[in-house]
Amino acid sequence: MTRHRKHPLVRAAAIGLLALLLLGIRVAQGAGMLSASEVTTGLGTLSEVNRLYAITRMVSDGQIRAPLSSSDGAAILQGTTGLVRSGAIHQLASLLNADLSAQEAEVILGPTLSEGNRRHAILVLVSAKRLRSPLSEEDAALLLKGITQGNRAVAIGVLAPYLRANLPGLAIATILGRNGELTEFNRFNAIVGLASAGKLRACLSGDDMNLIMLGVTGPMRVTAIAAIADSAKPQCVTTVFSSPAVSPSISASTAGSTPAFSPGVTSYCGPSSSAILEQLIPEYFCFNLVGLTAPSGACAVGGLAGWKPVHFGTACRAHDECYSRKGANKSECDDSLLSLLRATCDETLTGFWRKLSRAACYDEASFYYRQVRLRACEAFTNAQKQAGISNPSCSSPSLGIYRQ
pLDDT of 355 above 70? no
| The pLDDT of residue 269 | 47
Spell out the domain ranges in the chain: 14-132, 238-386
Where residue 13 falls among pLDDT bands split at 50, 70, 90?
low
- Complete edge-to-edge strand list for the sheet that includes strand 293-294: 293-294, 284-288, 307-311
d(CA 89, CA 96): 9
Does position 30 have pLDDT exceeding 80, yes or no?
A: no
Running DSSP on this structure, what letter comes out for residue 93? G
If pLDDT is split at 50, 70 and 90, which confidence band does 310 have?
confident
Residue 355 or residue 118, greater confidence: 118
> What residue ranges in 296-400 does DSSP mark as E strands?
307-311
Between the alpha carbon of residue 185 and those of residues 163, 211, 365, the distances in Å are 22, 16, 21
Give the residue from 137, 160, 143, 79 showing the smallest Cα distance to 105: 143
Q: Which of 11-20, 123-132, 143-152, 253-262 has the lowest mean pLDDT?
A: 253-262
Residues 44-48 have a mean pLDDT of 84
SS percent in the chain: helix, strand, coil, step 5: 55, 5, 35
Cα first-last separation, the chain: 84
pLDDT for residue 277: 40
- C-alpha 171/C-alpha 154 separation (Å) is 18
Cis peptide bond prior to 67, omega within 30° of 0: yes
pLDDT of 29 strictly over 60? no
Higher pLDDT, 354 or 184: 184
Checking if the pLDDT of 4 tops 60, the result is: no
User: Could you report the per-residue pLDDT of 90-146, keeping only the tens digit for each?
Assistant: 999 999 999 999 999 999 999 989 999 999 999 999 999 999 989 999 999 999 999
Which are the contacts of 141, defined by CB distance < 8 A and separation ≥ 6?
A: 174, 175, 177
**Between 217 and 6, the higher pLDDT residue:** 217
pLDDT surpasses 50 at 264? no
Mean pLDDT of 4-29: 54
User: Are 118 and 109 within 8 A, CB to CB?
Assistant: yes
Peptide linkage before 397 cis (omega within 30 of 0) = no
pTM of the model: 0.56
Query: pLDDT-derived band of residue 298, with 50, 70 and 90 as boundaries?
Result: very low
Is 219's pLDDT higher than 70?
no
- Report CA dihedral (104, 106, 107, 108) to the nearest 10 degrees: 100
pLDDT score of 399 more than 80: no
Average pLDDT over all residues of the chain: 74
**What is the three-class DSSP state of 260?**
coil
DSSP-derived 3-state class of residue 259: coil
71 pLDDT above the threshold of 60? yes
Of 114 and 217, the structure prediction assigns the larger pLDDT to 114
* Residues 137 and 174 sit within 8 Å (Cβ to Cβ): yes
Average pLDDT over residues 240-260: 34
In percent, the amount of the chain with pLDDT more than 90 equals: 22
Least Cα distance to 348 among 320, 309, 314 occurs for: 309
For 34-79, give the secondary structure using H, E and C.
Answer: ECHHHHHHHHCCCCHHHHHHHHHHHHHCCCECCCECHHHHHHHCCC
How many Cβ atoms are within 10 Å of 119's Cβ, its own excluded?
Answer: 23
| More confident position, 208 or 327 | 327
Residue 200's pLDDT is what?
Answer: 86
CA 22, chain centre distance (Å): 50
Average pLDDT over residues 182-186: 88
Distance, CA of 365 to chain centre: 25
- Which of the two residues, 272 and 366, has the higher pLDDT score? 366
